[in-house]
Amino acid sequence: MAASPDFSHFVKTDAEGRSRIDLAIDGITCAACLGDIETAMKRLPGVMNARLNLTSHRLAVTFDAARIEAGGLTGALEAIGYRAYPYEQRKVEADEAARFHLLLKCLGVAVFAAMNIMLLSISVWSGEGASMSNETRDFFHFLSALIALPAAAYAGQPFYVSAWNSLRQGRVNMDVPITIGVVLALALSVYETWRHAPQTYFDSAVMLLAFLLAGRVMDQAMRRKTRAAAGNLAALKGENALRFTPGAQETEENLVLTPVAALAEDDRVLVRAGERIPADGVIENGASSVDESAITGETLGKAVRVGDNVYAGSINGDGALKLRVTAAGNAALIDEAARLIDAASAARSGYVRLADRVSQLYAPVVHVTALATGLTWYFFLGAGVHDALVIAISVLIITCPCALALAVPAVQAMASGAFFRAGLFLNDATGLEKIGEIDTVVFDKTGTLTLPEPRVANADDIPPDLLDLAARLAHSSSHPLARAVALSARSAPPLPDARETQGMGVAAPFGQTEAWLGSAAFCEIESPGAHADASAIFVRHGARWARLLIRQTLRPDAARVLDRLRESGLKIAILSGDRSEAVAPIARGLGVESWSGGLKPADKIAFIDERAAEGAKILMVGDGLNDAPALAAAYASLSPIDAVHLTQTQADAVFLGDRLAPVAAAIAIARRARGLMRQNLAFAVGYNAVAVPFAMSGHATPLFAALAMSASSIIVTVNALRLRGPGKAVTLLLGEPKNSGSEPVRKAAPPNPVAAPSA
C-alpha cells in the first residue's frame, strides 16, 4: 500500500489546537458532488468538519492530526473519484484556466459539428416525400455520422469522464443521464443508418452537447469572475517590501528587499511614492496621499501623515512613508476581505441546501422514469422497440435536473460578486435571504451613522491659514480633540519646537509671534460660551483666533441613504448608547422619528424583541462592542469592517468605507437575489412539470428534448446574470427620491440639549 503524501507544511493549527487544511478538488461537476465529498470526509476518523466551496472547488477540512494525517484525506477523496491536492492559489488558477479552455474547445467543436449536421438534417427533412432518393438520404445520414461521432467523442469529454468516475464509485451524478442519453442517441442513429431508416438523431446528440457546454461555459465564466475577487485582493499586497534591518539604523543602506509573506509585526518598512503598501501599518515618518479605492471603494486620494493607519493594497501617492507593521502574514484588512469573499461563495443558504437535496435525489429518479416510460410503451402501449427506445431517450434527456441544480447557486455566485463590488462581504450563509426579507432598519449612532472619529464641524467657516496652523499644532498634541483637528489638514507638517501643556493645549513659535491651540483660557481668549452639541477647541495667532467645533460628523451620504430607504417602504430607527442630547440632533437631521439614547445592550435587545413580536423583521446596523448582542438578536445584521471583531462576527455581512451606501446596496442586492432565486426555482419546477409529461406521452423527439433541457439550463444562468452589480439593484429598489425638491419632514429635537464639554 502506497504511503500517504506528506502535506504537513500545508496544515495550519487554530487557537483550539485543531488542524486545518485547504484542498483543491478536481472532478466536481454538480451539486451532487458536494454531498458526496463532504459526507466521505466526515466519515473519516478524526475529521471534525468539512466544507466545500462549489465556486472555487476549495475544500476546508478541520481534523485531529493525532488521528489522521493530511495525506490520508486526499487518499479518501481519490477513492471516490476525485483528485485532491493542497490549495495553492496560482496552481488552482492555472488548473482552472486549463479546464475552462478545454470547455471552450469542446464547445467550439460541438457548435461547428452541430451546424453542419443540421444543414444535412434540414436537407433530409425538406426532401421527404419529394425528389430525394433513399440513397441520397442514406448518404447524408452517413456524412452526419462521420461528423457527429468524432465530434461527440471529443466535445463530450467533460460529461463522459465525470459520469464514468461517478459510476465507478457506485454513485449517480447529473452527467450520467447526459452521457447515457448522448450515447444511446448516437448508437440508435448508427443502427438506423445501417438499416436505411428515414430518421436518425445525430443532430439531437450533438445539439445537446453544444447547448450543455454553452451553459457550462457561462456558469464557469460567472464563477471564475466572482472567485477572482478574492485572488485579486490577495494580489494587491504585492510580493516584496523594503524592510529596514531590525536593530540597525533606519537608513537607505539598511533596507532589505523582503517577501511580503515574511514581514512580522513591528517591522519597519519604507514605501516609496507610487508603490503599493505591502502590509497594514501606522505611519512613523512622512506624509503623502494614498489611493484606498481597492480597499474602501473611495476614489478620491486620502491625505495621511504620522500616526495615521494605512492598509495593504493601497497605493502610495507623492511622498515616501516609513511604516511600522501592525498586521503581518494573513492578518491584514485585505486578507480579511478575501476570506469573507471566499466564505460568501462557500456559504449555502436555505434555498441552496434545498436545491442541493432535490438535485441529488433527482438524478436517480431520471433513470427510473426513463426506464419505466420505455417499458410502459413497449409492453402496454403497443410501441415497437425502436419507438419505445426513442421515447425513453427523450425522457432521459429532457428530465436531467441541470436547471434545478443551477437555479440557486448561479444567483448566489452573482450575488457574492455584486456584494463585493458594492463594498460588502457576507459572513453568514443565510444572510443573503434574511437581508432581502427585512422591513425595518435599526442604526446605532456612534461609528455607524457617524464617522468613527470626530471631525472639525465648522471647517468651512475658518480661514484656511488658521485651520492649517491649528492642524500643524495639533500634530504635536495627544489630546483627542487635537487629533480631530489634525485630521482636518493631514498634509500640514508639524511645527518645530512645539510645547504641550497637559490638558490645556500646545504652543509653538510661528513667524514673529507664538501660536496656540487649546482651551480658551490657554489661548487667552474670552470664551464665547459652550456650544449645544459640540466640543470646542481654540486656535490663536497674534490677534487672530477661531473656535473649532469638534463633533462626530455624519457619514457623507447618511441623509440621502436613509431618505431612499424610507421611500422604499422600510421603517427606520436609531438606538444609541450615547446620551439623548447627542442623539437628538442626529435624529433630527436625518428625519428619524423613532430614536432612543442612553441605552444599554439589554435595552436594544428589548426594543428588537418587542418589534419582532409584532412581526417586524429587523436589520440591525452597528459597530460597537455594545452592539454585538443586538446584532445577534436582530433578524439580520450589518457592521462596518472597522468595527470591533466581536461585532463583526455577529453580523451577517460587513461593509467597507466611510459611506452608508453599502447598506442600501445590501438590501437592494439581497431583495433582487431572493427574487431571482425564486424565479429560477419556479422555472425549474415548472419546466419539469410540463416537459416530463410531454416527453412521457411520446410527443418529444430527442432533438426537442435536447433543445428544451439545454435551454432551461441556459435560461436560469442568464437570469442569474441579471444581478451583475449594485447599481441596477439599488435603482430597482430605491429609485430616484420622490421628494428631491424638498426636505423630508423632520421631528423636532428635545428642548434644551446639554452642551458637550469643551477642551
Output the pLDDT for position 746: 34
3-state secondary structure of 516: strand
Output the pLDDT for position 319: 78
Q: Between the ranges 406-415, 607-616, 735-744, where is the mean pLDDT highest?
A: 607-616
Output the pLDDT for position 215: 72
Q: Where is average pLDDT lowest: 296-310, 344-358, 366-380, 636-650?
A: 344-358
pLDDT digits (tens, 9 = 90+) for 444-461: 887 788 876 778 888 888
The Cα 597–Cα 582 span in angstroms is 8
Which residue has 445577534 as its cell numbers?
632
Is 444 part of the annotated catalytic residue set? yes
pLDDT digits (tens, 9 = 90+) for 376-395: 998 989 888 888 988 988 88
Output the pLDDT for position 235: 56
Q: Between the ranges 411-415, 611-615, 730-734, where is the mean pLDDT highest?
A: 611-615
Average pLDDT value for residue range 223-228: 59
The Cα 542–Cα 321 span in angstroms is 34
3-state secondary structure of 744: coil
The Cα 581–Cα 754 span in angstroms is 6
Output the pLDDT for position 754: 27
Confidence of residue 440 (pLDDT cuts 50, 70, 90): very high
Helix (H) or strand (E) run with residue 434 in it: helix 431-437
Q: Are 578 and 476 contacting, i.e. CB atoms less than 8 angstroms apart?
A: no
What are phi and psi for residue 619, nearest 5 degrees?
-100, 115
C-alpha cell at 36: 458526496
What pTM was estimated for this model as a whole? 0.63
Average pLDDT value for residue range 207-212: 84
The residues, ordered by sequence, that sit 6+ positions from 93 with a Cβ below 8 Å of its Cβ are 231
Residue 172 has pLDDT above 80, yes or no: no
Confidence of residue 337 (pLDDT cuts 50, 70, 90): low
- Is the pLDDT higher at 731 or at 283? 283
Confidence of residue 756 (pLDDT cuts 50, 70, 90): very low
Residue 403 has pLDDT above 60, yes or no: yes
Output the pLDDT for position 759: 32
In this structure, is the dihedral angle defined by the CA atoms of residues 54, 55, 58 and 64, taken in order, positive or negative? negative
Output the pLDDT for position 753: 29
Confidence of residue 757 (pLDDT cuts 50, 70, 90): very low
Output the pLDDT for position 296: 53
Residue 713 has pLDDT above 90, yes or no: no
Q: Where is average pLDDT lowest: 286-290, 328-332, 545-549?
A: 328-332
By CB atoms closer than 10 A (0-12, 13-18, 19+), residue 596 is middle
pLDDT digits (tens, 9 = 90+) for 275-323: 888 888 888 888 887 877 555 545 456 777 788 888 887 888 777 888 9
Residue 328, Cβ neighbours under 10 Å: how many? 20
Residue 97 has pLDDT above 70, yes or no: yes
Q: Where is average pLDDT lowest: 36-40, 249-253, 748-752?
A: 748-752
Average pLDDT value for residue range 576-602: 85
- Is the pLDDT higher at 157 or at 356? 157
Confidence of residue 737 (pLDDT cuts 50, 70, 90): very low
Output the pLDDT for position 112: 95
The residues, ordered by sequence, that sit 6+ positions from 704 with a Cβ below 8 Å of its Cβ are 394, 398
Output the pLDDT for position 738: 41
Output the pLDDT for position 226: 55
pLDDT digits (tens, 9 = 90+) for 603-622: 888 898 899 899 999 999 98
Residue 728 has pLDDT above 50, yes or no: no
Residue 497 has pLDDT above 80, yes or no: yes
HSE-up (13 A, CA, CB side) for residue 417: 23
Average pLDDT value for residue range 80-105: 80
The residues, ordered by sequence, that sit 6+ positions from 155 with a Cβ below 8 Å of its Cβ are 106, 107, 109, 110, 113, 206, 209, 210, 213
Spot the catalytic one: 444, 563, 623, 627.
444
Ramachandran bin of 579, using left for φ above 0, alpha for ψ from -120 to 50, beta for the remaining angles: beta
Residue 349 has pLDDT above 70, yes or no: no
| Average pLDDT score, the chain | 79
3-state secondary structure of 282: strand
C-alpha cell at 619: 436589520
